[in-house]
Amino acid sequence: MIERESYALGGREISEDSFSNYRRKYSVGYKSNHTWRGKLENIVKAIPDRLAFVQGERRLTWKQFDGRVNRLANALSGLGIKKEDRVGIAGFNSIEWMESYFGISKIGAVPFNINPRAALDELGYVIEDADAVAIIVEDDYAPIIERVTEGIASLKHIIVYGVGKPAQNIHRGALIYEDLLAKYPPTKPELDYKITNEDFCYLMYTSGTTGYPKGVVWDGEQRVKGVEMLIYNVLVPAFERIDNDKIFEFVFSLYPMPLLRVSRPLSRLGLFRWMLFRFFKTIWGSTLMITESRRLLKEGVKYVPVCPLFHASAYMQTFGNIVASATTTVFLPTPYPFNARELLEVMEKEKVNGIMINGDAFAMLILDELKKVRAEGRKYDLSTWRAIISSGVRWFPRVKKELCELLPQVVIMDVYGCTEFGIAYSSAAVLEDKETPLAGATLPARGGLYPLQSPFRVVNPETGGDVKPGMGEMGEFAAGGYVALGYWKCPEKTRSSFRVIEGKRYFFTGDDGYVDKELRFSFVGRGKEVITIGGEKVYAEEVKEVIKSHPKVRDAAVVGVPDRELGEALAAIVELEKGEDLTEEEIAGHCRQSLPAHKVPRYVMFVVSLPREVTGKMEKRVLKEFAEGRLGPRS
């Protein structure tokens, strides 16, 4: 049994909570068009026999998938699980994960995400914090879930599934997923209550890199409609540049409608692009869009979410693709640990159109595999590959450029988003670009298609007003549009992070940056992670990017360590390219070329590899402990 005293209330401010504290009213709230149940049933009506999911040799149509979802929904209802009850899903990407999510949602219960590789105390904290009544868990992680949930009073059921095989590791009292499905019918569950846009839809836990994860509360209007519009919002920079041949082919691969091909000669006209984008917004997520896309592509546009669905970036893009245009989701046979060779073999076999990753951690491994086969005189047939979409972490321009050189037909979409808001913003890059932009967002005042995107502001924390473009003025990114309702059991944190400006609700992300002359927000670093060097504030991300620009550096991290003189000092932890060699002074000298003295690391440490979470994010706590341990007491 895990000792729960060690985390008492953790990040919570209160011990009990209710969705009534978050519920919002909408003019269409009585409807169910923005619910997972409603969206799935609309897709099944439109394209029942089209391909929905692929994993290994398993292939499910939308009708087959819906039948299994209904079986699970009926089973959960039969177990006494009801509307607003929280049910966790613990596992990596699989068809069963998706069935679980939709099955829970079909009866109005609330799925929540669990990273099965998280620390034991964190796992226990999340499950207890959610007041979970049930956990659906991949069999490899069932013993861990059994251990951390011992003594959690709310938990009534643990359901164990195998990914495409009979479940193993079934402890006494656990239920077997496939046995449950076999006992219940594939018909739509009959409920004595309605599920609407205003209901509790999802409890999404943050990645917890700076403490215990926080539960982010969503209803259907903000979550379901939000992820549908996320894809639209992400495509603004692509449609803005649709006159570029490669970007046009990327957009056409997503939406192979004759209108696009016929109107190709008009793509250079700004007014035409604006009208085309408005047309797409009108039909976005509609039955017309879904049926037309699948009439021309029977197996649909195929995407592989490489990063795990329990992380916000993969979740939002995957579900956004599904509700916007019913794309076919292809899961890797072995979703963890990531194997670049398996990914490229699956892409070749299934003729995949795009992948979703979390930056360098995945991109560098893909690069390694592509370089390896090229050196061996082989190659994969990746002719259908049109896009690499990344979100969640910074993605270094040099890595993007190398991928573009090896995959010249591919468009790189670098996406900026957050767990707490449903929309994301992006940049689009191709091989011919002189500069490869980082993820960011462009203000509507720039014109073109940007006034059609979801609103955001960059707010100066001292004045409370918007920052002035092109002046280098630092501000905090505040996202509008589709925004979460708040943090579960954290009313004060909710009030401070979710604020109303001029009658509109915004989420203040904690991400600091500036707006350049082109009206584009450039992220500099997290406000909470600022390192203070002798009174001067330094963003670790800014220093890390400079270090990574050295051609011999593969990866890098920067942390603050205690210092007697300055309060804190910068420590750089560096992973070199294979076979390369650098000294501490060479790293410092490289930084001095573009950074002021107080931003040059005082300490440089070399490691074989940097620790990253399964989501691709740096394990910052581990890195800080490592650096402080290497240096010893210094305060």
Give the percent of the chain with pLDDT over 90: 75
**One domain, residues 348 and 298:** yes
Indicate whether 386 belongs to any domain. Answer: yes
CA 574 – CA 627 distance, rounded (Å): 11
Assess if residue 494 is contained within a domain.
Answer: no
Shared-domain flag, residues 165 and 296: no
Chain position carrying tokens 């501490």: 584
| Amino acid at site 457 | R
- Do 373 and 441 share a structural domain? yes
Range with lowest mean pLDDT among 45-49, 349-353, 566-570: 566-570
Same domain, 618 and 543: yes
pTM of the model: 0.91
Flag whether pLDDT at 633 surpasses 70: no
519 within domain boundaries: no
| Residue 329 belongs to some domain of the structure | yes
Instruction: Answer yes or no: do 315 and 365 share one domain.
Output: yes
Q: Which domain holds residue 156?
A: 28-213
Domain's final residue, options 152, 181, 213: 213
CA 8 to CA 613: how far, in whole Å? 25
pLDDT in tens, 252-306: 888 887 778 888 888 888 888 899 888 888 888 888 888 887 777 778 899 999 9
Burial class (CB in 10 A: 0-12, 13-18, 19+), 522: middle
Residue 137 sits in the same domain as residue 252: no
In a domain, 290, yes or no: yes
413 shares a domain with 545: no
Residues 6+ apart with CB under 8 A from 631: 561, 571, 603
Q: The domain that contains 560 carries what CATH number?
A: 3.30.300.30
Give the CATH number for residue 322.
3.40.50.980
Last residue of a domain, one of 213, 240, 259: 213
What gap in Å lies between CA 613 and CA 608, rounded to an integer?
16
**Pick from 11, 18, 22: which is nearest to 484 by CA?**
22
Residue 96 within any structural domain of the chain: yes
**Euclidean distance between CA atoms 288 and 388, whole angstroms:** 26
User: Could you give the CA distance from residue 187 to residue 203 in angstroms, rounded to a whole number?
Assistant: 27
Residues 444 and 570 occupy one common structural domain = no
165 and 232 co-located in one domain:
no
Same domain, 446 and 297: yes
Whether residue 435 contacts residue 445, with contact meaning beta carbons closer than 8 Å, is answered with no
Regarding whether 410 and 344 lie in a shared domain, the answer is yes
Asked if residue 525 is part of any domain, the answer here is: no
Q: How confident is the model at residue 100 (pLDDT cuts 50, 70, 90)?
A: very high
| Alpha carbon distances (Å) from 113 to 30, 98, 269, 358 | 27, 12, 44, 18
Count of the separate structural domains present in the chain? 3
pLDDT band at 451 (very low <50, low <70, confident <90, very high): very high
Instruction: Specify if 195 maps to a domain.
Output: yes
3-class DSSP state of 191: coil
447 shares its domain with 584:
no
| Listed residues 158, 185, 213: the one ending a domain | 213
Segment 186-191 shows an average pLDDT of: 96
